[in-house]
Structure 1
């Protein structure tokens, strides 16, 4: 009997089961350096201990998306090893900052299943949670993924269809503010831009101007760094076209990094309301990004406000602010549409 694991297929899941994911990971400063080498991220709070201390934190925390990728990677062998594609996210809450030396582990609960009409795959919904070495939750998120069936003739797991009801958006009061965060003495010069919460208006659109070409080598480093073992990302034989699908989180981090030009004071990603990988991304694609301000809110933390943003990543050369096509579907050059909350000075 083979000891090698081939991962779960659609018919292997059951609604309500909890899956404890293997291999905890201790994050080091080297993880921060690799993240900075992969993405042109320049947000001051995650770059400088001194800046973070001036904002009331003990030290510079890791980028929120680095934590997301690391926890996400823990879930891949059990949730999406045999995925066709990761489809979307909802109810993503960053519950506590993570600092060098902390160890993260993860578990997921299966909250929904639906077989596709072709009978060869199905959609699996899970709620995943990342915890530190003290058992404290640092991240919680839902995602749904299209997973192949091992045997097209196999019956769908019972119940045959259960689609979870997910919140369309997090309310401002649902956002977890890092203890001690204080932007009353915020240094706008060191942060790189003068814009406060009140400088942004609902409905405003920001073209982030900068562009970044996706390289195969960088994507492969990122996928391995997060210990993401989904075959479509690193195995060129996993797709009929012989192309490796770029990990959607890689696109999210590129878009977040590009958004610095126009949103330099969006220091913390506090929550993600929803995200869709609208079209596949492949090596050689050049990405640009734009954002729309969806809402503004104050928080109880001194000097801290919250902005709700939609950021869209699209292939360079697309029309200005591409989003939906003429018939209401996704514009063919749109790769990512993500709706999220950030914390900014007010």
Structure 2
């Protein structure tokens, strides 16, 4: 049967350093996207849940959770970058540059900034920097990710290769809270906890206690919501599945599930400002219970009205079927312990008590 008009997706040998990709299908964000996001992951952060609460924080209306912007832009990139992926591997240098609201339209473009063929000759790692812009041409977010992609022909020649040098973290000075954000009258009672910037110590670990199962149908729906078409998440005949035949769950499902679980202990740190780095340590398949814990890596005062905006640099670790109390995430040699599925480093805004 002819496939001349169908898109088979890029293989590793199709990518070139410096290549620019304009991704198809702009997406207008709706209140329905927000409602379905809440139904799938269960986040409870007040800043995204209530227009009145957001107005009390100096904003006109509640912004959309930044992770929705991340998922939407990520989904735009899949047909060009990771349709034939084995796995998405990691993230770096992610910055949320402008707030997103229902009615805004996002489009995305990427630049290939690194290529490295694997020693097996059958796959390679592609590094891209992706930028999402709104309908006014304003950049909403930018991030780097790297993904393992199959070669179409193991014997195919590969052009110039290079692995980019990436910053270990986004500097606090480059963080961009939403314009107008004002935490001077932050309502800790309505937010769900009294914990302010001053209450967190560098090195502190927080067990988020709760666990959440992601079912197969939820994983499939979440991935379709973001128009992510990667074959490993849907196609029963792809290789990235466990012996029972379940498809690999999109890594963004794990990120948003773990972030929602972090509410218990980080109720006032919902607003993600940057993604410093992250790894999908192990594949996750639906049916396992996801748990999470966080560690405070750093703190920074961002100023704002009354100097009331602070930021926490947080390490979010997700595990499967292993509650996190006293959980050793790595062994003495530095290898991840069985059950760790996500290791994410990010900055979040948090109110100062003043």
Structure 2 counterpart of 1:324, from 311, 317, 330: 330
Instruction: Give the gaps of 5 or more residues in structure 2.
Output: none
Residue 116 of structure 1 deviates from its aligned partner by 0.1
For 1:86 and 1:247, how far apart are their aligned partners in 2?
9
Tell me, yes or no, if structure 1 residue 274 matches structure 2 residue 277: yes
State the SS of the aligned residue for 1:263.
coil
For 1:72 and 1:20, how far apart are their aligned partners in 2?
13
Give the alignment of 1:153-168 within 5 angstroms: 153-156=155-158, 158-159=159-160, 161-168=161-168
Tell me, yes or no, if structure 1 residue 12 matches structure 2 residue 14: yes
Residue 326 of structure 1 deviates from its aligned partner by 4.2
Structure 1, residues 136-162: CA drift from partner, whole Å, max 9, x if none? 000000000000000001011x21x20
Q: Hey, which bits of structure 1, 4+ residues long, moved more than 6 A?
A: none
- When the two structures are superposed, what TM-score results if normalisation uses the length of structure 1? 0.98
Give the alignment of 1:235-246 within 5 angstroms: 235-239=235-239, 241=243, 242-246=245-249
Structure 2 counterpart of 1:310, from 305, 315, 332: 315
State the SS of the aligned residue for 1:52.
helix
When the two chains are superposed, the root-mean-square deviation of aligned CA atoms in Å is: 1.0
State the SS of the aligned residue for 2:264.
helix
For 1:8 and 1:256, how far apart are their aligned partners in 2?
31
Structure 1, residues 95-151: CA drift from partner, whole Å, max 9, x if none? 011000000000000000000000000000000000000110000000000000000
Residue 318 of structure 1 deviates from its aligned partner by 5.3
Residue 331 of structure 1 deviates from its aligned partner by 1.1
For 2:323 and 2:106, how far apart are their aligned partners in 1?
39
For 2:64 and 2:323, how far apart are their aligned partners in 1?
33
For 2:178 and 2:327, how far apart are their aligned partners in 1?
33
State the SS of the aligned residue for 1:34.
helix
State the SS of the aligned residue for 2:203.
coil
Residue 243 of structure 1 deviates from its aligned partner by 2.7
- Kindly indicate whether the alpha-carbon contact (under 8 Å) linking 1:96 and 1:139 is maintained by their aligned counterparts in 2: yes
- Kindly indicate whether the alpha-carbon contact (under 8 Å) linking 1:212 and 1:287 is maintained by their aligned counterparts in 2: yes
For 2:321 and 2:56, how far apart are their aligned partners in 1?
38
- When the two structures are superposed, what TM-score results if normalisation uses the length of structure 2? 0.95
Structure 2 counterpart of 1:256, from 259, 263, 285: 259
For 1:146 and 1:136, how far apart are their aligned partners in 2?
30
Name 1:176's counterpart in structure 2: 176
**Higher mean displacement: 237-246 or 117-126:** 237-246
- Kindly indicate whether the alpha-carbon contact (under 8 Å) linking 2:293 and 2:316 is maintained by their aligned counterparts in 1: yes
Name 2:122's counterpart in structure 1: 120
Residue 250 of structure 1 deviates from its aligned partner by 0.4
- Kindly indicate whether the alpha-carbon contact (under 8 Å) linking 1:322 and 1:334 is maintained by their aligned counterparts in 2: no
- Kindly indicate whether the alpha-carbon contact (under 8 Å) linking 2:130 and 2:143 is maintained by their aligned counterparts in 1: yes
- Kindly indicate whether the alpha-carbon contact (under 8 Å) linking 2:57 and 2:182 is maintained by their aligned counterparts in 1: yes
Name 1:68's counterpart in structure 2: 70
Name 1:146's counterpart in structure 2: 148
Name 1:336's counterpart in structure 2: 342
Instruction: Give the gaps of 5 or more residues in structure 1.
Output: none
For 2:191 and 2:178, how far apart are their aligned partners in 1?
19
Residue 24 of structure 1 deviates from its aligned partner by 0.2
